[in-house]
Amino acid sequence: MSSDLQMRLILASSSPRRKDLLESAGVNFEIIPADVEEDNAGDDDPEAMVRANAELKASWVAERHVDRFVLGSDTTVHLDGRVLNKPRDWKDAKAMLRRLSGRTHVVYTGVSLQNVSSGLCETFGVRSEVTFNTLDDATIDCYFSIVNPLDKAGAYGIQEGTEIIIESYVGSHSNIMGLPIDETKAMLARHRLA
């Protein structure tokens, strides 16, 4: 692949999970995190919230790199009509896992690809369902000894300590991690970026 093609795509995120997913899909890109204030008021329509945040992140970077394609993404967890974004602290993280314990929730991810020069703005959302095991405080503490919940929507990640907290899931595994890679790669392929 030419260096020109390698440098066409920017990931507007510092998420190590999104970086790993894109790399594992063989996509060439560089990382320039967006410096934006995300909208976290998505209780009524979480998919619209993550789509808007993905567009906001992609737009912020794309406006500064007008000839480049920029990929933005945002993920949230939704339960009982409320979004669970990244926890404020460890106490908040523990409260989130208690709330998710023994329940099924929905994970929404929004993905946006933008290019200022061509006027491209393509955005989509993906949802998956996750059912948690019943968790007591000792189990939550055990999980937190393995996983740092503070940088994860809903205070958990499906890729580590899965058997401790997750009973089952329906839908895209990579969506639950923070980037639905099959759908993202298909979008990138349409624009000859993958």
Q: In this predicted structure, what is the pLDDT of residue 7?
A: 61
Residue 70 φ then ψ, to 5° = -125, 130
- The model's pLDDT over 104-144, given as tens digits with 9 standing for 90+, comes to 999 999 999 999 999 999 999 999 999 999 999 999 999 99
Which candidate in 4, 45, 67, 74 is catalytic?
74
User: Under CATH, which number does the domain 3-190 receive?
Assistant: 3.90.950.10
Burial code (b: 16+ CB inside 10 Å, e: under 16) for 61-100 equals bbeebeebbbbbbbbbbbbeeebbbbbeeeeebbbbbebb
- The model's pLDDT over 36-52, given as tens digits with 9 standing for 90+, comes to 999 888 899 999 999 99
- Domains of the chain, by residue range, sit at 3-190
Q: Catalytic: 74?
A: yes
Q: By the 8 A CB rule, do 87 and 155 touch?
A: yes
- Beta-carbon neighbour count of residue 152 at 10 Å? 24
pTM score of the predicted model: 0.93
Where does 29-69 have alpha helices with state H?
A: 46-62
Burial class of residue 141 (count of CB atoms within 10 Å of its CB; 0-12, 13-18, 19+): exposed
Report the largest interatomic distance among the alpha carbons of the chain, rounded to a whole angstrom.
53
Half-sphere exposure of 17 (CA within 13 A, CB side): 21
